[in-house]
Amino acid sequence: MSAFDELMAFQRQTEALARIAGRLGWDQETVMPRGAAEQRGEEMAAIEAVLHARRIDPRIGDWLSAADGNGDPAMHAALRHIRHSHCRAARVPADLATEIARSTSVAQGIWAEARRADDYDAFAPTLAQVLRLKREEAAALADGGSLYDALLDGFEPGMTAADLDAMFGALRPRLVALREAILGAAHQPAPLAGDFAEAEQMMLSHEMAEAFGYDFHRGRIDKAVHPFSSGSGADVRITTRTAPHDPFNCIYSTIHEVGHAAYEQGIDSSYAFTPLGQGVSMGVHESQSRIYENQLGRSRAFTGYLFGRMTALFGDIGIADPETFYGTVNRVAPGFIRTEADEVNYNLHILLRFDLERALIAGDLTVADLPDAWNTRFEADFGVRVDRPSHGCLQDVHWSVGLFGYFPTYTLGNVYAGCLHRALRASVPDLDEQLAQGDTAAATGWLRDSLQTHGGLRPPRDTIAHACGVEPSEGPLLDYLEAKFTDLYRL
């Protein structure tokens, strides 16, 4: 066997074990008995220890030195991924990696309980411990460089806080101006009202998943507190949630997660169990979930189709026609909760988190001061005072499980989705006619062929550039939002 083949055989087992760890995460969020949390923490720590030991295995260094990509792009890309993962893992002491796995597994349950009880103090010591461990990890990874960039690099290789700052700086004024114009508009769509039975919501969830090409033979839908997708290749599961007064939450959570899942299900199956066999970064992943959810799912054309399906299932929903329904689906309104935010406000929620978590990681903000810092910033950005921790800094699971450096990839995903949407429209001129029939085949097929099938072949930014034919920038997203909402709000 060549060094390359030996490395790939070793890597194949590592990928399989990583998938197992992911599957345990799904289990924990959907079906695990509540009393098992502590035990699961020990199990997660054990498999993370195995994974960590494999990632820093000194043979990898030898194989990497000896291996040759032979001019083959896929082989080169596989070596690039393994080198990146090996370098990062080798910098983190094994004890620290194990301790992070154990602590974050337990912390998640404590966060969920604290959020339920609306009690920040019950969560603060746990968050402080997770933050301490993650800062320690960041220092090990950064090797003298920026702590935050070191964490960001784990989710979006090649991206830096400075790049994001430039991009977010360009987004902010136009988003704020657009939101102010919208909130001051004379025409304001009405919100949805009424009770929507859970069983019908779940039926619609399945129907929407199928409409967007989700392959149930290689997946399933369950309910979770915080919807997510999980897995790769032939086992990609999604979750959604239901609320009696808000069927859009269920429908658009489903479509969003189908976007993530379609990426994983769409990757060239010859990449399975290689480093190319999963989505290349969180930002690119989010571009798929966002374009499915927003540019396609909330388009005038598709909401017209959805209006027909909802009235067929629920009868009179208190909305007279598709155009009114389009306004309701896309209604812009102030709100505390990121995951319930409209397309215009959403990125402002992210910008807030990006700045706060950078300060936490830099040591400029303490866990004790976090609620005040959050609430002050929120009032400045949104003009509303946060009324309780679960509407503020307790709302998201991310920090409890150690995901610092993750939030900005959501807005990056929106930016990438804007670029992909522009290219898709150019490629499929009659897109709206198809969406109006609930037919997404041309759109999802274009995304699969242009982007999804390639998995980890190219670096994140190059993945988007390859699909779009131009370098990504925030312009297309801003243009899309301004055009859509200027029209919708008759500005």
Residue in 50, 90, 170, 202 binding a copy of itself, rule: CB under 8 A: 50
Count of residues of this chain found to bind a copy of itself when the rule CB under 8 A is applied: 38
Is residue 213 within 8 Å of residue 439, measured between CB atoms? no
Work out whether 227 is an interface residue with a copy of itself (CB under 8 A): no
- Nearest approach in angstroms of CB 322 to a copy of itself is 35
* Residue 54 token pair: 């494999």
Residue in 35, 58, 71, 315 binding a copy of itself, rule: CB under 8 A: 35
Residue in 55, 115, 134, 237 binding a copy of itself, rule: CB under 8 A: 237
β-strand 221-223 against 237-240: which pairing, if any? parallel
Work out whether 10 is an interface residue with a copy of itself (CB under 8 A): no
Is 137 in the active site? no
- Nearest approach in angstroms of CB 38 to a copy of itself is 7
Is residue 334 within 8 Å of residue 387, measured between CB atoms? no
Residues in Cβ contact with 91 at an 8 Å cutoff, skipping those fewer than 6 apart: 140, 141, 143
- Nearest-angstrom CA–CA distance, 215 and 69: 33
- Nearest approach in angstroms of CB 94 to a copy of itself is 12
When the beta carbons of 234 and 426 are compared against a copy of itself, the nearer one is: 234
Which window, 41-49, 143-151, 166-174, 387-395, contacts a copy of itself (CB under 8 A)? 41-49
Question: Three-class SS of residue 235?
Answer: coil
Positions 110 through 129 that interact with a copy of itself (CB under 8 A): none
Work out whether 39 is an interface residue with a copy of itself (CB under 8 A): yes
Question: Three-class SS of residue 398?
Answer: helix
Place of tokens 């005038």: 300
Residues in Cβ contact with 46 at an 8 Å cutoff, skipping those fewer than 6 apart: none
Positions 257 through 296 that interact with a copy of itself (CB under 8 A): 272-273
Which window, 18-26, 184-192, 416-424, 477-485, contacts a copy of itself (CB under 8 A)? 18-26
Amino acid identity, residue 75?
M
Residue in 3, 46, 359, 465 binding a copy of itself, rule: CB under 8 A: 46
Is residue 158 within 8 Å of residue 461, measured between CB atoms? yes
- Nearest-angstrom CA–CA distance, 43 and 302: 44
When the beta carbons of 38 and 449 are compared against a copy of itself, the nearer one is: 38
Q: At what angle do helices 161-183 and 147-155 cross, to 10 degrees?
A: 80
Residue in 76, 80, 91, 218 binding a copy of itself, rule: CB under 8 A: 218
When the beta carbons of 80 and 218 are compared against a copy of itself, the nearer one is: 218
β-strand 229-230 against 237-240: which pairing, if any? antiparallel
- Nearest-angstrom CA–CA distance, 350 and 358: 12
When the beta carbons of 277 and 408 are compared against a copy of itself, the nearer one is: 277
63 alpha carbon, distance to own chain's centre: 33
- Nearest-angstrom CA–CA distance, 19 and 406: 20
- Nearest approach in angstroms of CB 246 to a copy of itself is 27
- Nearest-angstrom CA–CA distance, 440 and 302: 9
When the beta carbons of 24 and 442 are compared against a copy of itself, the nearer one is: 24
> Which residues are catalytically annotated?
257
Chain residues in the site for a copy of itself (CB under 8 A): 12-13, 16-17, 19-20, 23-24, 27, 31-36, 38-40, 42-43, 45-47, 49-50, 215-220, 222, 233-235, 237, 272-273
